[in-house]
Structure 1
Amino acid sequence: MKQTLSENIQAYNAKQNEEEKAVCELLAQEINKYLPEAENKIWHAHPVWFLEGKPVAGYSKLKAGIRLMFWSGAGFYEAQLKPGSGKFKDASVCYTTATQVNTDDLKRWLEKSRHIQWDYKNLIRRKGKLERLG
């Protein structure tokens, strides 16, 4: 089932400057292409894609550029993805131009996001301890 891009994400992308908009639109197109069953919406003010209610990928505008983040990306073991703070299993990469986006890498990361997931839903119940799903 192919999801269409939510109007809120389209509006988010349209608000960016020309280069950032190109990055956002490319990321949205590729994420929808390789995760067609994923729900997409604005979550915590940023575009996010969910598989079975779990956030897996999203992007946000930072001063350094557009940050593409994977909630379980630290478990992908990909050199281009930089781990977050260490408390969670997120990892990300930042783009300033659409030409920096390697769609082959993105496709591989999105495929990994299907199979490598951590249970953020029960984080509080487990007193901050993350467990891998699947």
Structure 2
Amino acid sequence: MNKEIQEYNDSQNPEDKKICTILSSEIDAFLSEAESKIWHRHPVWFLDGNPVAGYSKLKDSVRLLFWSGQSFDEPELQNEGSFKAAEARYTSSDQINLQDLKRWLDKARNIQWDYKNIVKRKGVLIRLK
């Protein structure tokens, strides 16, 4: 696991640390070809330089974010922001459904919008996959 991500996980309270540890382990295992790093102070995984999945500690929960998640057609994911992102929020590690998570990660690999070039395209997203 990326050392900075481990430090991020370790800095959380005990329950949030469990959530973060499960998420990082599963994302690392499923997206083994992805680059992972702390980006904008949160763990994020990239495929070919494009952010696809990450999580962050919010005031009341841990948010799992998929940059292209609105295109996944998954009712358990809630729309986030004005682009194509969708999220799931957890307050307890036993809320994480590993089957759902693996299905979402598979979709994160296979359904992508081009966030890497969003600034160059002046906020316009194009579908990559």
- The two structures have a TM-score, normalised by structure 2, of 0.96
| Deviation of 1:130 (Å) | 1.1
Contact 1:64 1:94 in 2 (8 A): no
| Deviation of 1:93 (Å) | 0.5
Partner residue of 1:57? 53
2:19 partner SS: helix
- Which one of the candidate residues 10, 22, 44 is aligned to 2:6? 10
- Which one of the candidate residues 120, 129, 133 is aligned to 2:124? 129
What is the CA–CA distance in structure 2 between the aligned matches of 1:126 and 1:27, rounded to whole Å?
A: 31
1:57 partner SS: strand
2:94 partner SS: helix
Sequence identity of aligned pairs in percent? 57
Matched, 1:22 2:24: no
1:42 partner SS: strand
Contact 2:53 2:64 in 1 (8 A): yes
Partner residue of 1:39? 35
> 1:73 corresponds to which letter in structure 2?
G
Alignment of 1:66-77 (within 5 A): 66-77=62-73
- Which one of the candidate residues 55, 75, 80 is aligned to 2:76? 80
What is the CA–CA distance in structure 2 between the aligned matches of 1:110 and 1:37, rounded to whole Å?
A: 12
1:124 partner SS: coil
What is the CA–CA distance in structure 2 between the aligned matches of 1:67 and 1:32, rounded to whole Å?
A: 17
Partner residue of 1:117? 112
- Moved >3 Å (runs of 4+): none
1:95-118 residue CA offsets vs partner (Å, 9 max, x unmatched): 011100000000000000011101
RMSD over aligned Cα atoms: 0.9
- The two structures have a TM-score, normalised by structure 1, of 0.93
